[in-house]
Amino acid sequence: MGASMSEVAIVTPVFGRHAHLLNQRTALLGGSRKPDQHVVVSMGDPDIERLVGSEPDCAVVELDVAPPWPLSRARNLGAQVALDDGAEVLVFLDVDCIPSGGLVDRYASVAKQPPYQNGLLCGEVSYLPAQVPFRWDDDRLVLGVEPHPGRPLVPSTSVLATTEYTSFWSLSFAVTAGTWHRLGGFCELYRGYGAEDTDLGQCAQAAAIDMFWVGGAQAFHQYHPVSDPPVEHLSEIMDNARTFRARWGWWPMEGWFEAFQAAGLARYDAARQIWVRT
């Protein structure tokens, strides 16, 4: 592919979640604009190649790893593959997320415009409840779906500047190739659940990269069971939180740590100024 601002690549890391991946692929192919390339990074899952590897717009990249999953490394690898093939706009979309019909076109359009072309572009993500039918032709009026309460509801034709870098999340976002190089990618010291996206938000702030909420680039997070707090990821969260504190000087995921403490799973050691397991 020749490099131009029209070249848009989706980057999706995945292990398992095959039904979610197929739903995402269906939505991408049915959107108002199809991506020029979909880079799917398979984290130790050989079945991904069989599922989507034969599709002409889809490049499956094998990453031979074991849990805890190195999501930062997988996203960085997918981005590099896309950039090497001429992508000028990178859209990162977690496998859990179904893009709305206009997501690719909206990200691509906004990424061409100053000052957004130099920014971190974040689309709206709504959560699908269990067993709620999804209407592929309807971007917003989906039965039972509400926007995330911690993010603003931006009109579909608007872009809203924000300084809330701690609210950045990696479920759905876009950057130009130039902005990606300024960011330096995700820090690969993180493995498993938590903090790698908060870290990228801090990298953006440190590099004076503006952050924007992009209306009209909506994604729908597909239902899967979760724990609250995510006790099955306690070890990963604690390891990643320590890495984050060493890099940025403060503890992320405060709400989860307070919940772990209330459940008797963790405590704050004031003498050492560190969270520890109980």
pLDDT in tens, the chain (278 residues): 333 445 999 999 999 999 999 999 999 999 999 999 999 999 999 999 999 999 999 999 999 999 999 999 999 999 999 999 999 999 999 999 999 999 999 999 999 999 999 999 999 998 887 766 555 555 444 555 667 777 888 999 999 999 999 999 999 999 999 999 999 999 999 999 999 999 999 999 999 999 999 999 999 988 888 788 899 999 999 999 999 999 999 999 999 999 999 999 999 999 999 999 99
Pairwise CA distance, residues 138 & 193, whole Å? 31
Residue 275 contacts residue 254 (beta carbons within 8 Å): no
For 49, 75, 88, 236, 239, the CA distances from 58, given in Å and listed in that order, are 10, 15, 17, 31, 34
Which residues are paired to 218 by β-bridges?
A: none
pTM of the model: 0.93
Instruction: Classify the phi-psi angles of 121: left when phi > 0, otherwise alpha if psi is within -120 to 50, otherwise beta.
Output: beta
Pairwise CA distance, residues 10 & 89, whole Å? 9
Token pair 């499956």: residue: 60
